[in-house]
Structure 1
Amino acid sequence: MNAQKELDEELTEWLLDSDPSLRWRVERDLLGASDILWEATRAKVATQGFGVRLLSKQDADGQWAGGAHFPGRAELGIVVVGNPEAQPWVATSWSLSQLREWGVAAEAMGDTAERLDANCRWEYDDLPFWQGEVDVCINAMTLANGAWLGRDMSQLADWFAEHQLADGGWNCEWELGKTTSSFHSTLNALLGLLEWEQRTGDTHLAEVRHRGEEYLLERRLLHRKSTGQVVAPFVREFAEPARHRYSALRALDYFRRASEHDSTEPDARLGDALRLAVHKRHGDGTWLQDGPLDGIVWFRTEPDHGEPSKALTLQGLLVTRWLEAATS
């Protein structure tokens, strides 16, 4: 057995020894396992491990922590990561997004969508939950979550076309007069639009999504268009859960998924970001956690800063293999 094959097998075993929320993606996306196998693993997310723990925190009215984007009350048993004054990650929008990303089936959520419709309103202007509000990242999560739970989100989807900036991207501070786009906001908008398109089959906003992709591609996922300099340190900082935060690896993973959805070849302008991702790979084949992000969480799901991350390693392997296969 050569050294590379041995390393690959050790990494695979390490990744498979995971919570069901990650293991089903290892089986499906990395190993190409049969649908029967990975679907059986994904079904466990709602009954085992992280998924069932987070579902158990849901309030009777459908919310988490009594609030839409911010907790409406103090909670017992929460965990503080880093700065306790940072964004809390326990309210409804964050909890729903995490469950969706982990692969919980919509059927396992029962009547959550209806209860949120009746009981949950945004902290901004007391707007109804499924209507969204003014923040691009919040609306992107809501679009994806609504599509997952079977809501008609077409009106909120169209909001992204109406609020796309002249440079092709989005900025959560558009309401404050910002006219240039943000890497964070643009990636989150793209993720929401892709999720909505995949779940509904509605492609009438595909060109809007492609314009947003072009914003990032023109900057090679890393640089300011005006100067060519790296836009900010955050592009090099890989962390899971990523929440709303941009990184080159998270953007590469978006383009991998979008390329598969659109049946297109990888764009050559992803090369700089790929080289960064490969450079950040540790000698043992893993990617290390640069986070986690500060704030209040229900419970920890990822390692400390500097420790090997299974979620990042899976993401890194999928991205690098996809791009290497396209150029081989």
Structure 2
Amino acid sequence: MTQSDPVIEWLLDSDPAIRWQAMRDLTDAPQSLWLAERARVETEGWGAKLLSFQDRDGQWAGGAFLPAGFGPEEWHEHGQPWTATTFCLSQLREFGLDPSCARAKRTVELIGVNSRWEEGGQPYWQGEIEECINGRTVADGAYFGIDVSAIVDRLIGERLEDGGWNCERINGSVRSSFASTINVLEGLLEYEKAIGGTPASRQARATGEEFLLERNLFRRLGTGEPADEQFLRFLHPNRWRYDILRALDYFRASAILTGADPDPRLGEAIDYLRSRRSADGTWPLDWSTEGRVWFEIDDGPGKPSRWITLKAMRVLKWWDARAPMPA
């Protein structure tokens, strides 16, 4: 794949949040070039637009997990809202806002001072009680330079016997879920990128990965049937939800960090990903979540998605370069 590829050109003709990642992951552009493009996320396009909605106290929509004044009626009628602080931080991380820029540093500082979780009033960077939320808080905190080791230790202690996590553990669940596990794995990976992790966090990440790999990323361990047909439908932004592309992109990032070869058990998901490519070389957005957002960043379900296409192309590029040849 080169810059003359029309799909790559389509990705480059986009927002800085897409463009810098396509430059880095698909065209192998020099670091100086993609870093310069990444710096534009703060002042242009989606990144700047999302930052423009930030409250004076550093939060978004007046809350940590929920917008201020939000009631259960809206959730019932329109779905979970996505405008509060936690989802905005995760989106800025996905966009690639430079964590060393003054705006990012000031943001995480203000959130640490002013934001409290609705569940129990805990300071934001101390984490909540739910594994899915804490996994994303670890990912965001580690990315933006916050010490999240206490939350990491908590997550390590909340692992279930099958190696993964479930945010319903507190309600008695003893089996891990795909969604909870990927949220925690992404957090532990970001923590490892930031400070190298700890022996305990690396071991926890390994067991969580094994939970997904044993199930070929989407199958029930007992029956082999798909655990949820939604896992095979591509979503963006994922928020807390799981699909196999999210998992594949995680395993790619994990392997790049550690130097590991792709696990052959990813092969079925890779084949499915290839099968979903449209004739024009792009991948569609299959669905999106309901609920309040600041603005849309895709053209809608059924249409080509730059985000899905970017992730799919970099996963396949990594797999095709490193995957073991079949016997």
How high is the TM-score relative to the length of structure 1?
Answer: 0.93
- 1:12-48 deviation line (CA, Å, top 9, x unaligned): 1111011000100000011100011100100000000
Correspondence 1:93-172 to 2 at 5 A: 93-106=86-99, 107=101, 108-172=103-167
The counterpart of 2:268, out of the listed 261, 272, 286, is 272
Q: How many residues align?
A: 318
C-alpha distance in structure 2 between counterparts of 1:191 and 1:84, whole Å: 31
Q: What's the CA shift for 1:65? A: 0.1
Among residues 298, 307, 316, which one is paired with 1:311 in the alignment?
307
Q: Is the 8 A contact 1:65 1:73 kept in 2?
A: no
1:108-163 deviation line (CA, Å, top 9, x unaligned): 32422222122111111111111111111110111111112222111111111100
The verdict on how the C-alpha distance between 1:7 and 1:29 changes in structure 2, with shifts beyond 3 A counting, is closer
Q: Distance in 2 between matches of 1:314 and 1:99?
A: 17
1:7 and 1:284 in contact (8 A); partners too: no
What residue is the counterpart of 2:29 in the other structure? Answer: 33
1:18 to 7, 11, 14: 14
**Alignment check: 8 A CA contact 2:283 2:305 kept:** yes
CA–CA separation in structure 2 for the residues paired with 1:8 and 1:164: 46
Name whichever of 180-189 and 137-146 sits farther off: 137-146
| 1:102 alignment partner AA | F
Q: Write out the 4+ residue segments of structure 1 that deviate beyond 6 Å after TM superposition.
A: 5-8
Matched, 1:324 2:320: yes
Which residue in the other structure is 1:193 paired with? 188
Decide whether aligned partners of structure 1 residues 6 and 170 sit closer, same or farther in structure 2, where only a CA change above 3 A counts: closer
Alignment-mate amino acid for residue 208 of structure 1: A
1:302 has 2:289 as partner: no
Q: Contact (CA 8 Å) 2:264, 2:324: kept in 1 or not?
A: no
- Give 3-state SS (helix, strand or coil) of 1:296's partner: coil
Which shows bigger deviation, 54-63 or 111-120?
111-120
Query: TM-score under structure 2 normalisation?
Result: 0.93
Counterpart contact for 2:26–2:314, Cα < 8 Å: yes
- Aligned twin of 1:181: 176
Name the SS of the counterpart of 2:212 in structure 1: helix
Report if aligned partners of 1:20, 1:48 keep a CA contact under 8 Å in 2.
Answer: yes
Give the drift of 1:222. 1.3
CA–CA separation in structure 1 for the residues paired with 2:197 and 2:184:
16
Contact between 1:97 and 1:141, CA under 8 Å: does it hold in 2?
yes
Give the distance between the partners of 1:21 and 1:275, measured in 2 at CA: 27
1-side partners of 2:2 and 2:88: how far apart?
A: 38
Residue from 35, 54, 57 that aligns with 2:53: 57
Q: Which residue matches 1:42?
A: 38
Runs of 5+ unmatched residues, structure 2 = none
Provide the rounded CA distance (Å) in 2 between the counterparts of 1:7 and 1:44.
20
Contact kept? 2:299, 2:305, Cα under 8 Å: yes
Partner amino acid, structure 2, of 1:162: G
Q: Distance in 1 between matches of 2:324 and 2:27?
A: 21
Instruction: Write the letter of the residue equivalent to 2:169.
Output: W
**Preserved contact between residue 83 and residue 294 of structure 1 (Cα < 8 Å):** no
Distance, in Å, in 1 between the alignment partners of 2:242 and 2:312 is 15
Q: Paired residue for 1:85, among 78, 84, 102?
A: 78
Q: CA deviation at 1:202?
A: 2.5
Task: State the alpha-carbon separation in 2 of the partners of residues 242 and 65 from structure 1.
Answer: 20
SS state at 1:202 partner: coil
Do the aligned partners of 1:147 and 1:195 also contact (CA within 8 Å) in 2?
yes
Q: Which has the higher contact order (CA 8 A, sep 6+)?
A: 1
| Deviating more after overlay: 194-203 vs 295-304 | 194-203
**Mapped partners of 2:193, 2:266: distance in 1:** 23
Does the 8 Å contact 1:84/1:294 carry over to 2? no
**1:83 positional shift:** 8.4
In structure 1, stretches of 5+ residues that fail to align are 75-79
Asked if 1 retains the 8 angstrom alpha-carbon contact of 2:2 and 2:27, the reply is no
**Equivalent in the alignment of 1:243:** 239
- The answer to whether the 8 Å contact 1:241/1:302 transfers is no
**What amino acid is the match of 2:284?**
L
